[in-house]
Chains A and B, each alone.
Chain A
Amino acid sequence: MKVLSGNVFSLATILEELASEAGIDCIFFALDPISLKIASQITLRRIRKKFIKSLEEFLKEWIKDPRKAIILLSPEREEIRKVLIQLEGCLPILLRNEASCVFIILAKERNVMKEILSFSFESSIEFVIPPDLSSLVKFLFSFVEAKRCGVIVCEPMLIEEGHIGFSYGLRTSEAIGVESSATEIGHGPVAILTLGAMFRFAANIIFEQGMLSDVKLIGFLKLGSFVRENLVSILRRYRYVIIMDYTGTIIPIASSIAYNLVSRSEIEWVPEIVDLLGDLGSEEAMDLMGVTNMLRGFLGRGPRTQSENIIKMRNEIIFLLSEHTESFIDYMNSQTDFEVLCVKPFISNNSGIRRIRIHELMRLPLIGKDLIVVTHISYLIRFFDSFRPLIELKDGRSTVIVVDTTFVERSLLDKLLGILDNMLMGLKERISILNLKEDSFEDIVNKLKKTGKVIVLA
């Protein structure tokens, strides 16, 4: 039995262990902060890390050297459709060549999950959504051992989870079966539908609250065009269906299927379909006590009241800016009044700093004030065309692009700086690159006064 090194069980250690066992010597990481964070946690020297800007780049690499591969990527909401379509085009090529490649999509937020779910219902790809890390191991091994290709979607809860001090046997870990597309718990008359990690969350509530004889918990762990058939079968069996889907994708599909079944007299009742998380009243957040109370309310086990102390949580990955970057922004703001914008997933403690998505950058030239834009270096490289108007603008405004380099290893940073240098070719007289670790705040301000635009590495 193989035991994980260092007694840590997390996505990174699972990948290390799997790569060692299955003879995979190279893992591909997309250039985004979340994939880079996982890459920084992989420390086994014999695993080579390759960094790619797109799936096309991976395919080019793979054609040159066909081998077993794991590919990690965390696409933005705006590009996820493009990535999924590329994946749909890429998979047949890999399958024809009998490749063994596992794509792991790190879904960083609700909207990315929503796009994946909507796409999956019409797609030929089977997406696997593991409810926990043990199941992730099982799914990964099933793909690698069968020498086939697979697509696994990791939700935020799984990406940022770690168990310390445990000795895990990868092959003997308790996990939900990988063969079936849905897993069921309980034997009650009310069906609760969940997806991926939410299945684990709901299962815990049901076990804790002793609801096994009240409900039948059904977890969809694989998604594809077959989900519609699964929904038809569930709506034929249950009059009461509670849906716990934080993306809000399943409910309209289930409702339209129910409408069809009733109109064709295939069922003799009008199913009651309840959107549990939608009823909590917040689009983004959910709270444990709220879910438990609402569930108890629907099952006639208590009033449908919500707790006064609602603790709301989001399914999203965000990172706090470093203290040093925060103090630099404070210093700059004390010099001149800047409009400070922080590109997600990085956020600031300062409530005056607006959080924006990378694709909102296109609107920035319309803002008339001096600007500080904080972003990750991987985004500056991948979405340089979005930053270009800010650099090229000749309106006398001061623009500071603060480039965070967290999770970027030294060798990769050197390469990225080389790429950035090439990208800035022809713009050198308009912009200077400085480093927060080497240059003082005063030096940066002086340079900004001379050139009007600076890139500051943090």
Chain B
Amino acid sequence: MELTLCIVSDEDVWMSLYSILVRLLSASKLRGTVRKVVFESNDVVVPLYVLNIGGHIERYCIEPNSVDVIFIFSSNIAREVVESLQTVIKDEGKIFVSDEIFAGGNLEDVKQESQTICAIAYFLYILSKYLSLSKRFVVKVLKSISNENINELIEKYRLVSRNERV
């Protein structure tokens, strides 16, 4: 199965995501290609990490209706950028904005570092659904990233149900 994702994030979050992606893809024998492009929309520019898993893209641009999921791990992103990004999303695709993902979780009281881990956890959760990876496997990878409150975060944001936890 081929999956194309776009990620908007700062470098700290991206570096964490990237190290996990390397682990996840290597462990699951999947192949992926990452390219960073700069997306332009009405004088607003956004760096976009384009990740293609399972396929083999040789492109330096994105075609309309070609992306499965977009993750925006960045607050205050201009509404017009989000609207422009809709053009690259497939009909059945989805945009996840971090603020909306955690709207019910009240992240105000969570440390910055934990927010990053939480964002990564959610990213992995969505990825596992699209790639049909077992949640058990995903949690194993998650646990290898950081031991700090990871179970608590997984439980708090219901990323994995109780009986699926490792």
Mark A residues whose CB is within 8 Å of B: 6-8, 37, 156-157, 160-166, 197, 200-201, 204, 284-289, 307, 309, 311-324, 326-327, 330, 347, 349-351, 406-407
Contacts and interface: CB of A to CB of B under 8 A. Distances in A.
B10 A317 contact: no
- Count chain B CB atoms within 10 A of each CB in A162, A200, A287, A318 and give the residue with the most: A162
Interface in B55-100: 58-64, 74-78, 87-88
B47 interface: yes
Given A8-B22, A326-B75, A160 B36 contact: yes
Nearest to A348: B76
Contacts of A320: 8-11, 46-47, 74
Contacts of A323: 10, 13, 74-75, 112, 115
Contacts of A197: 60
A313 B76 contact: no
B164 interface: no
A315 B35 CA distance: 12
Contacts of A347: 45, 47
Nearest to A284: B40
Interface in B110-147: 112, 115
B40 A164 contact: no
A204 B58 contact: yes
7 contacts: A164-B25, A164-B26, A288-B61, A319-B47, A349-B74, A406-B11, A407-B11
A406 B12 contact: yes
B101 interface: no
Contacts of A8: 22
The listed residue with most A CB atoms (<10 A of its CB), out of B38, B62, B63, is: B38
A309 B35 CA distance: 21
A322 B12 contact: yes
B35 A307 contact: no
A314 B12 CA distance: 22
B166 interface: no
Contacts of B43: 351
Contacts of B38: 313-318
Query: What's the dominant secondary structure at chain A's contact region?
Result: mixed
Contacts of A351: 43-44, 78
A68 B96 CA distance: 48
B47 A288 contact: no
Contacts of B63: 288-289, 311
A174 to B, nearest CB: 12
A313 B66 CA distance: 15
A287 B112 contact: no
Given A284-B40, A285-B40, A313 B62 contact: yes
Nearest to A324: B112
A286 B61 contact: yes
A355 to B, nearest CB: 8
Interface string B15-42: 0001001100110011111111111110
A284 B61 CA distance: 14
A191 B75 CA distance: 47
Contacts of A315: 38, 60
Given A165-B30, A284-B40, A311 B88 contact: yes
A109 B63 CA distance: 22
B10 A321 contact: yes
Chain B CB within 10 Å — which of A6, A201, A323 has the most? A323
B139 to A, nearest CB: 20
Contacts of B9: 320
Contacts of B12: 322, 406
Can you list the 3 inter-chain pairs with the closest CB atoms, starting with the nearest?
A160-B36, A288-B61, A314-B38
Contact of B76 (A157, A307, A314, A326): A326
Contacts of B46: 320, 349
B77 A164 contact: no
Nearest to B77: A349
Given A314-B45, A318-B47, A349 B32 contact: no
Nearest to B35: A161
B37 A349 contact: no
Given A313-B62, A349-B75, A349-B78, A7 B40 contact: no
A314 B40 contact: yes
B44 A319 contact: no
A313 B35 CA distance: 12
A157 B34 CA distance: 10
A323 B13 CA distance: 9
Nearest to B27: A165
